[in-house]
Amino acid sequence: MKKKEKKMKEARFRNMDKGMPIEVREQLDNVMPEGQGKRDTKRPRHDLIPIEFIDELASIFEEGLTKYGDSWKKGGDDFLIDCLNHASNHLHLYMSGDRTENHLAKVAWNSLAVRWFHAIR
């Protein structure tokens, strides 16, 4: 696919529901092509998450992998408390004007790590 065509396709995907009434979007979310079954539950709209948000979180995962490996997957109560403390610390640093590192992405990562462990327990 040519570069220009790819950009046009990406732009269409990003803007696909601009101007579309919410009622229409909700109806389309639960419509499947004929012969492919019907969705029982509404699924989260992953297409609404800006790629920049995902990139920010991915950079934090990558930074942690370099320093600690994938030990975060082991979890544990001490790890979860540590995540909450780190999230709080990064939030306070950001609020005090510190821009030496990506504090808000680290707040998000630590918060989501805690949420993930509570969801899988």
Structure token digits, residue 86? 């780190």
Containing 90, the helix (H) or strand (E) segment is: helix 77-95
pLDDT 10s digits, 78-107: 999 999 999 999 999 999 999 999 999 999
Are residue 10 and residue 56 in the same domain, yes or no? no
- pTM for this entry: 0.63
Range of the domain at 24: 3-47
Mean pLDDT of 6-17: 52
The reply to whether 53 and 23 lie within a common domain is: no
The pLDDT tens digits of the residues spanning 35-58 come to: 666 666 677 888 899 999 999 999
Rounded Cα distance between 66 and 74, Å, is 17
> Do 75 and 94 lie in a common domain?
yes
Within 8 A by CB and 6+ apart from 90, the residues are: 103, 104, 106, 107, 110
Whether 60 and 30 map to the same domain: the answer is no
Whether residue 53 is found in the same domain as residue 83: yes
Q: Considering 32, 47, 62, which residue would you say is the last residue of a domain?
A: 47
Q: How far apart are CA 83 and CA 102, in angstroms?
A: 16
How many domains is the chain partitioned into structurally?
2
Same domain, 107 and 66: yes
